[in-house]
Copies of this chain bind each other. A is one copy, B any other.
Amino acid sequence: MHFADLLTERSRSLSPICVGLDPALSKLPEAITKDAAGILAFGKGIINAVSDIAAAVKPQLAYYEALGWEGMKAFWETCTYAKGHGLVVIADGKRNDIGSTCEAYADAYLSAHSPVDALTVSPYLGSDTVQPFIERCEKNSKGIFVLVKTSNPSSGELQDLPIGDEVVHERMAQLTESWGSNHLGKASGYSCVGAVVGATYPEELKYLRTLMPHAIILIPGYGAQGGTAADVAHGFVKGQGAIVVSARAIIFASKGRDWQDAARAAAEKMKGELSKALKN
């Protein structure tokens, strides 16, 4: 199934929630060991708790890489486990490099047998470094999310620079829309090339939604970073076309023995908040 159709269908039947798996050792529940085996057990526990609420999970590669190859083993096992539970798996790596090398990244994450459904991609190097990812998306029914406007405080330093009558992130949005416009899912009408736009910039999100009518927007920054349900509602069109990430507020909802129940409750709460905001 086309990636956009898969994600849209699952968002519609469950919720447009993507649970960020950011297993920072210092924040793990007390009962979890602070090593690669621990982050795998933690990831599985979160997946068990949210797999019938959330559309997707987004394992953040940095936390797995920080534990060396054992961490990367835990990463792949976590992705396989999530895929086995029906979740859409978005690997957050913000990868990219020049042509021949980004072929290798595309093969690493978006091969036909990979449990990863989509990868986040950095656009600083330009179109020729995005094309190999798009080829894998078409061939293997995968997706990418291109960084357009990130959620962090200094994202504007480069992304908001004025170029003529527009700013850099507008130009990136236009490129993202153009990269995906030939690869639309028949059921959803959305493209395999999505965009990352932070919930912390709701005005930009509102405008960028209009610039990228075919891009599914992955919206980080909900909850712990300050984004609200009303903020992220700007990313949706008729309740579709966006997926909202929450990590810390769900996965670290409790450090005690009830961490799975607390994560589930936090995801249920977010589902309610989004549902209400999207009805307005």
Contacts and interface: CB of A to CB of B under 8 A. Distances in A.
A11 interface: no
| Count class of interface residues, chain A | 35 or more
A197 to B, nearest CB: 13
Interface in A111-147: 122-129, 147
User: Within the oligomer, what is the number of copies of this chain?
Assistant: 2
A47 to B, nearest CB: 19
Contacts of A65: 72, 104-105, 108-109
B24 A100 contact: yes
A70 B62 CA distance: 17
A152 B125 contact: yes
Contact of A164 (B151, B154, B162): B162
A271 interface: no
Contacts of A69: 69-70, 72-73, 75-76
Which of A75, A107, A126 has the largest number of chain B CB atoms within 10 A?
A126
Interface of A: 22, 24, 60, 62-63, 65-66, 68-70, 72-73, 75-76, 92, 94-102, 104-105, 107-109, 122-129, 147, 150-159, 161-164, 168, 171-172, 175, 220
